[in-house]
């Protein structure tokens, strides 16, 4: 009888999605570590324009950092990379590997699904998603093809599903409170941390805003 792995308990409150274009000359690995030290609770490694070999080598090094801090590592889209580095999870979009197939190939791991409508959210839950990434809530330069989701729609999605909901898209220190007021489980950020000059400080400020009532 094969051993069943239990999924790690996940804190979705401050979910960092990587984008190396925002870093300029700064090192991605160092930036991820600073963000974790500042309060990031989950890291998604997203790479759309490098080779499979480069992605794999990078993922191995990022996994060393996230494992050291006991922070789950989610791989965006690439199941092969997630399997190769034994990542904690996989995140898929509506045009990526179907949720049901992802679950078959990546059992007992965290799988998140992007959703921009209530229908997509409910279907993802029915198919076994562990959490939803809902957005884009505000306009964003890091993902120009994301459909707009209002705060009212976000709140409705949260009330309609039982799995955690993470909002994404243009979320920063100025609008964070409004987004969290919908009752969601966390926010996914890119520019609000990685585009800042002081990554540690930026992450800490967001984390503190999430903690304060």
Catalytic residues: 46, 114, 143
The DSSP secondary-structure symbol of 165 reads E
Write out the DSSP string of 103-132.
Answer: HHHSTTSEEEEEESSHHHHHHHHHTT-SEE
- Among all chains, which residue has been given the structure tokens 């690995």? 29
Helix, strand, coil % (nearest 5) of the chain?
40, 15, 45
Residue 46 in contact with residue 19, Cβ under 8 Å?
A: yes
Tell me the two tokens of residue 185: 């489980």
């Amino acid at each position: 009888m094969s051993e069943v792995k239990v999924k790690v308990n996940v804190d979705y409150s401050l979910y960092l999605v990587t984008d190396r274009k925002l870093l300029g000359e700064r090192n991605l690995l160092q930036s991820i570590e600073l963000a974790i030290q500042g309060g990031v609770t989950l890291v998604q490694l997203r790479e759309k324009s490098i080779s499979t070999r480069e992605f794999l080598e990078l993922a191995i090094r990022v996994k060393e950092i996230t494992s050291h801090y006991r922070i789950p590592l989610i791989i965006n889209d690439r199941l092969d990379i997630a399997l190769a580095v034994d990542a904690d999870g996989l995140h898929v979009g509506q045009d990526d590997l179907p949720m049901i197939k992802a679950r078959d190939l990546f059992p007992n791991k965290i799988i998140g699904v992007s959703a921009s409508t209530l229908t997509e959210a409910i279907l993802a839950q029915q198919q076994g998603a562990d959490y939803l990434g809902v957005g884009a809530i505000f306009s964003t330069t890091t993902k120009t093809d994301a459909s707009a989701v209002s705060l009212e729609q976000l709140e409705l999605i949260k009330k309609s599903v039982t799995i955690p909901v993470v909002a994404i898209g243009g979320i920063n220190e100025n609008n964070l409170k409004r987004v969290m007021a919908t009752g969601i489980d966390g926010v996914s950020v890119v520019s609000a941390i990685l585009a800042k000059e002081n990554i540690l400080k930026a992450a800490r400020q967001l984390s503190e805003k999430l903690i304060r009532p």
